Amino acid sequence: MTPDPLTTAPTAPDPGAVLDELRAALPADAVVTDPDRLTARAQDGSATAPTGAPLVLVLPADTGQVSAVLRVAYAHRVPVVPQGLRSGLAGGANAVPGAILLSTERMTAIRRIDHVDQVVVVQPGVVTKDLVDAVAAEGLFYPPDPASYAISTIGGNIATNAGGMRCVKYGVTRDFVRALEVVLADGTVIRTAPGTVKAVAGLDLTALVVGSEGTLGVVTEATLGLLPAPAPDRGVAATFDSVTAALEAANAVIASPHRPSTLEFVDGEVLAALAAHDPEAGLPVGARAMLIAITDEAEAGLGDVEAYRQIAEAHGALAVDVAHDPERLHQLMRARRALNPAMRAIRGGSINEDVAVPRTRLPELLDRIADISAQTGLPIGTGGHVGDGNLHPVIAFDPADPVQVDAAHDAHTRILGLAVELGGTVTGEHGIGVEKRGALPGELSPRVLEIQRGIKDVLDPLGILNPGKKL
Amino acid sequence: MTPDPLTTAPTAPDPGAVLDELRAALPADAVVTDPDRLTARAQDGSATAPTGAPLVLVLPADTGQVSAVLRVAYAHRVPVVPQGLRSGLAGGANAVPGAILLSTERMTAIRRIDHVDQVVVVQPGVVTKDLVDAVAAEGLFYPPDPASYAISTIGGNIATNAGGMRCVKYGVTRDFVRALEVVLADGTVIRTAPGTVKAVAGLDLTALVVGSEGTLGVVTEATLGLLPAPAPDRGVAATFDSVTAALEAANAVIASPHRPSTLEFVDGEVLAALAAHDPEAGLPVGARAMLIAITDEAEAGLGDVEAYRQIAEAHGALAVDVAHDPERLHQLMRARRALNPAMRAIRGGSINEDVAVPRTRLPELLDRIADISAQTGLPIGTGGHVGDGNLHPVIAFDPADPVQVDAAHDAHTRILGLAVELGGTVTGEHGIGVEKRGALPGELSPRVLEIQRGIKDVLDPLGILNPGKKL
């Protein structure tokens, strides 16, 4: 039995020697051992995932410094935990005992924005929103928009293959990563691809690294594809008296030629929580579901917005709000944005799930989540990216009540199992991290897990890269 | 030095025992040893790539039979060459000595077309056009359109990560593969992903298998994403008096909000060859380049076609033809379709390249291909997917003249080196196969090659899957 690297410090590296070598390789202020600063960096956005006491925090500014850190780590077999701004929700960036925390916070250069090639070349520590704004200022568009984009880094988005609301039209982070510079476990620097739109000379190492949660290498530069700026968002929010009607309307939008850039759903539990949390929301009585469809296409004639309105009405919408400007649209997104805070407000605590199933299985997923809610006695409100079949059930519980804490974990486990049973996944966009390692054997066959560990061994033979995460 | 599996038969497997076990595992007519039938299957669409004498051709009809074949091959360490309809252009499906040729020609089931999930589930032997037509009959759309789509299989498209003209808008084959069923070297059957739009539980084995040219496993079922049917194609063909003007017009189209579904280019060499080959083509005097831009968006008002026309005129087009119906559009594509036959007609032989570079480097690529043409004394006409930076230079030579044959190979090698020098790839969509193995070390670093071979070893430890190809 291999000891769990999350709870066991590595065998006998010499911490003094490691620190000396790191200090020799990096500027003085880039090697941090202050216990308060280490404690502050030990955890990501997942409140409950296990963590451990790191040895040191390093703040490399460029690829050469990252390579130097990894050479030291490799020589001493010290675990390395790559970190962006730790907005993740699965514990992927949590510290492990004795680890070097490798923060990308000084690697924030936007090196090149190219109009002809429609690419941006960045260091991994760039905040996603800064990247989006920088290319928008040049009339270009980086579509992936994880909800955390104002507090996440592009390196973290790559590590988790982050999704977001626009995936329904544009795809996930991976679809925009043309090439990566990666520092391997032993400090070697590789490029995964030439950065062209198409390239099939090698196996697809780019796609392999995207979503690998820091377990295969440290991304030090990314070449990302861009698009021309779209038209301003416009859209429709519609409420329905049943989940079924809302899901059927969503399917009709997806099947229409009016391709939405965003198609979001919230169920009646969320609407009820929102009505309690935000009495100004003004939701219609009897609303059991809401659907929000947005387009970013330039329109003439009938247009997408009118098509969405007609589809909602044809499916018996209780009310349809139309927004032709960003402010009004922001209003319409109120219920969707309130998913987490409104559900947490019910009992003080919440677990935010991230399951995905084929769209055909969404009615059964939501039915059976309602059963789990009834059986555990906990409110569970669900919302999310219905066009992708990727929903976030939020389990509300009182963290001070041990019975509810147990019930919440039971509901969590049952929802993950349900997603797999319905032909889906335990994580559509948040990643496995530490939180969901236990769910992997339910989703991936023993042989697939063995292949993944074999690939990990090829890239990280000593197992020093983010040990205990993902795999 | 490992012996080259392309020219060396495997060590001492017992062919009689292999054939006996295959006959026990498969229906009688699914195990073929007739020498004429074997010879007919030894080569793909690449006329010149090396091949070898296979042991047997097997025609499994389902996953269980593929698994049985691989169990036999694994037990006896016999090489297995997966084959679709052998339309590839790099020798990827060519026989190797002593191999089992595993044809997917009996695996042609289209198992499920789902409107709500927008997926189609198919066996690998389905001809791409049959798949496209089957989903089109249901109002759905499978965008990847390799030029060979009427004679290629979806399994072959997956093996090479096939491109096509629509990639500029929709992406390559990989972008539509949701999940694969794969039989591993030892006969184990795995699924790479659940088939949902988003899934990040595991490393991306789907993307790893796509483009791996049969070296990691045999794909036995694919779940492919679909879109709603687009509007009918309409477009513009414009001729220019310089390559520069045409490339700048192409960049302007790409930078505009009028996203083309196809953006193709041919240079003056091709137009001259076409004028000789097809005097009816009616090209304007002095044309040194042609650009074809197509849209499949429903339009109102000004529209995409008018935008393309205006861009062409603003860049000094000699002539602009507009097509609002499929027949007229087919006419406009005449020069593009003639790329290979018109160039081959000049001297009787041709080598069709497949390089890709960033769009910023296209002017230099084309300039220096003209230099290579002048230096080798061979006509080289170039056309292709300019929006992706993926062009097909076609080298014309007389196959009966040994001097020209040598010069053609010299030009071939220099064009591959040039693509890499310009930050590009030796293959955008055709693959490495046998033809371009020599070019790999120029494009991929030793460490990247080592990682790829390590991954190959994880999935195929005995090296029996399509040995001597790709890696």
pLDDT tens for chain A, 471 residues long, are 455 666 665 556 799 999 999 999 999 999 999 999 999 999 998 877 788 999 999 999 999 999 999 999 999 999 999 999 999 999 999 999 999 999 999 999 999 999 999 999 999 999 999 999 999 999 999 999 999 999 999 999 999 999 999 999 999 999 999 999 999 999 999 999 999 999 999 999 999 999 999 999 999 999 999 999 999 999 999 999 999 999 999 999 999 999 999 999 999 999 999 888 888 877 888 899 999 999 998 875 458 999 999 999 999 999 999 999 888 998 889 888 889 999 999 999 999 999 999 999 999 999 999 999 999 999 999 999 999 999 999 999 999 999 999 999 999 999 999 999 999 999 999 999 999 999 999 999 999 999 999 999 999 999 999 999 999
Any bridge partners for residue A293, and if so which? A236, A263
* Per-residue pLDDT reduced to its tens digit, B158-178: 999 999 999 999 999 999 999
**Do residues A73 and A84 touch, judged by C-beta distance below 8 A?**
no
Give A76→chain B minimum CA distance, Å. Answer: 22
Contacts with A360 from chain B: Cβ below 8 Å: 114, 116-117
Residues A388 and A280 in one domain: no
Q: CATH number, domain at A116?
A: 3.30.465.10
A279, exposed or middle or buried, with CB in 10 Å at 0-12, 13-18, 19+? exposed
Contact state of A451 with B205 under an 8 Å Cβ cutoff: yes
* Whole-Å CA distances, B85 to A173, B124, B150, B245, B352: 34, 11, 10, 40, 19
Contacts with B259 from chain A: Cβ below 8 Å: 227-228
> Residues near B293 by Cβ (< 8 Å), separated by ≥ 6?
B235, B236, B238, B253, B260, B262, B263, B308, B312
> Residues near B172 by Cβ (< 8 Å), separated by ≥ 6?
A198, B144, B161, B162, B163, B164, B429
Residue B325: what residue type? D
Distance CA B82, CA B218 (A): 7
Helices (H), A187-260: 205-209, 243-255
Domain of B272, in residue numbers: 234-337
Domain-ending residue, one of A337, A353, A371:
A337
Contact state of A198 with B448 under an 8 Å Cβ cutoff: no
Count of CB atoms situated within 10 Å of the CB of B7? 12
Tally helices (H) and strands (E) across chain A: 17, 19
Contact state of A194 with B443 under an 8 Å Cβ cutoff: yes
Distance CA B416, CA B414 (A): 5
Question: Length of chain B in residues, anyone?
Answer: 471
On whether residue B141 sits in a domain, the answer given is yes
Judge whether residue B2 has pLDDT over 60.
Answer: no
A264 in helix, strand or coil?
strand
Distance CA A237, CA A264 (A): 9
Residues A348 and A249 in one domain: no
**Do residues A291 and A207 touch, judged by C-beta distance below 8 A?**
no
**Closest among A321, A390, A387, A318 to A352, alpha carbons compared:** A390
Nearest CA in chain B to A190: B448
Q: What is the dihedral of CA B114, B118, B160, B394, to 10 degrees?
A: 120
Any idea which residue has 């039971």 for tokens? A410
Residue A307: what residue type? A
Count of CB atoms situated within 10 Å of the CB of B284? 13
Nearest CA in chain B to A257: B228
Q: CATH number, domain at B360?
A: 3.30.70.2740
The pTM for the full model equals 0.96
On whether residue A196 sits in a domain, the answer given is yes
Contact state of A117 with B358 under an 8 Å Cβ cutoff: yes
According to the model, what pLDDT value does residue B3 have?
59
**Do residues A107 and A125 touch, judged by C-beta distance below 8 A?**
yes
For the segment B49-71, the average pLDDT, to the nearest whole number, is 95
Distance CA B246, CA B264 (A): 10
> Residues near A37 by Cβ (< 8 Å), separated by ≥ 6?
A57
Give B214→chain A minimum CA distance, Å. Answer: 11
Contact state of B171 with A174 under an 8 Å Cβ cutoff: no
**Closest among B289, B281, B270 to B394, alpha carbons compared:** B270
What DSSP letter does each residue of B415-470 carry, written as one string?
A: HHHHHHHTT-BS-SSS--TTTTGGGHHHHS-HHHHHHHHHHHHHH-TT--BSTTS-
Distance CA B83, CA B91 (A): 11
Angle CA B34–B35–B38, to nearest 5: 90
On whether residue B31 sits in a domain, the answer given is no
Residues A267 and A250 in one domain: yes
Give A432→chain B minimum CA distance, Å. Answer: 6
* Whole-Å CA distances, A409 to A112, A349, A440, B177: 46, 12, 16, 34
> Residues near A398 by Cβ (< 8 Å), separated by ≥ 6?
A347, A348, A349, A404
Q: How many CA atoms lie within 13 A of A177 on its CB side?
A: 33
**Do residues B130 and B224 touch, judged by C-beta distance below 8 A?**
no
According to the model, what pLDDT value does residue A301 have?
46
**Do residues B294 and B329 touch, judged by C-beta distance below 8 A?**
yes
Count structural domains, chain A.
Answer: 3
On whether residue A64 sits in a domain, the answer given is no
Contact state of B455 with A455 under an 8 Å Cβ cutoff: yes
Q: Which DSSP category does A79 fall into?
A: -
**Do residues B406 and B294 touch, judged by C-beta distance below 8 A?**
no
Any bridge partners for residue B235, and if so which? B294, B323
Number of A to B CB contacts under 8 A, please give it.
268
Residues A313 and A253 in one domain: yes
* Per-residue pLDDT reduced to its tens digit, B125-155: 999 999 999 999 999 999 999 999 999 999 9
Domain-ending residue, one of B337, B367, B389:
B337
Residues B382 and B312 in one domain: no
Instruction: Report ipTM for this prediction.
Output: 0.96
Contacts with B210 from chain A: Cβ below 8 Å: 204
According to the model, what pLDDT value does residue A338 have?
87
Domain-ending residue, one of B212, B228, B244:
B228
Phi, psi (deg, nearest 5) at residue A128: -55, -45
Best of A121, A186, A190, A197 to substitute, by most chain B Cβ atoms within 10 angstroms, is A197
On whether residue B91 sits in a domain, the answer given is no
Any bridge partners for residue B137, and if so which? none
* Whole-Å CA distances, B99 to A18, B159, B465: 52, 18, 10
Q: CATH number, domain at B257?
A: 3.30.70.2190
Phi, psi (deg, nearest 5) at residue B278: -145, 80
**Do residues A52 and A466 touch, judged by C-beta distance below 8 A?**
no
Distance CA A432, CA A355 (A): 11
**Do residues A224 and A178 touch, judged by C-beta distance below 8 A?**
yes
Q: Range with the lowest mean pLDDT among B279-288, B293-302, B392-401?
A: B293-302
Contact state of A443 with B388 under an 8 Å Cβ cutoff: no
Residues B159 and B216 in one domain: yes
Between residues B285 and A213, the one the model is more confident about: A213
On whether residue A326 sits in a domain, the answer given is yes
On whether residue A439 sits in a domain, the answer given is no
- The helix (H) or strand (E) run that includes residue B249 is helix B243-255
Contact state of B208 with A211 under an 8 Å Cβ cutoff: no
Judge whether residue B305 has pLDDT over 50.
Answer: yes
Residues B182 and B145 in one domain: yes
What DSSP letter does each residue of B187-209 carry, written as one string?
A: S-EEESS---S---SS--HHHHH
Give B311→chain A minimum CA distance, Å. Answer: 15
Q: Which DSSP category does A470 fall into?
A: -
Question: Length of chain A in residues, anyone?
Answer: 471
Contact state of A191 with B445 under an 8 Å Cβ cutoff: yes
Q: How many CA atoms lie within 13 A of B67 on its CB side?
A: 11
**Closest among A263, A249, A76 to A163, alpha carbons compared:** A263
Nearest CA in chain A to B439: A201
Residues A198 and A280 in one domain: no
Q: What is the dihedral of CA A261, A266, A270, A271, to 10 degrees?
A: 90
According to the model, what pLDDT value does residue A66 have?
98
**Closest among B453, B412, B406, B456 to B436, alpha carbons compared:** B412
Give A434→chain B minimum CA distance, Å. Answer: 12
Phi, psi (deg, nearest 5) at residue B352: -100, 110
**Closest among A428, A169, A230, A228 to B171, alpha carbons compared:** A169
Residues A175 and A118 in one domain: yes
Best of A141, A175, A184, A196 to substitute, by most chain B Cβ atoms within 10 angstroms, is A196
Any bridge partners for residue A114, and if so which? A119
Using a pLDDT cut of 70, give the percent of chain B over it. 97
Residues B301 and B246 in one domain: yes
**Closest among A159, A178, A148 to A92, alpha carbons compared:** A159
Classify strands B140-141 and B227-228 as parallel, antiparallel or unpaired. antiparallel
Q: Which among B194, B356, B454 has the least Cβ separation from residue A199?
A: B356
> Residues near A306 by Cβ (< 8 Å), separated by ≥ 6?
none
On whether residue A303 sits in a domain, the answer given is yes
Best of B167, B180, B196, B355 to substitute, by most chain A Cβ atoms within 10 angstroms, is B196
Contacts with A200 from chain B: Cβ below 8 Å: 160-161, 211, 425, 427-432
Contact state of A208 with B208 under an 8 Å Cβ cutoff: yes
Residues A223 and A269 in one domain: no
According to the model, what pLDDT value does residue B300 have?
56
Contact state of B201 with A259 under an 8 Å Cβ cutoff: no
Please give the mean pLDDT across all residues of chain B: 94
Residues A223 and A246 in one domain: no
**Closest among B465, B469, B420 to B444, alpha carbons compared:** B420
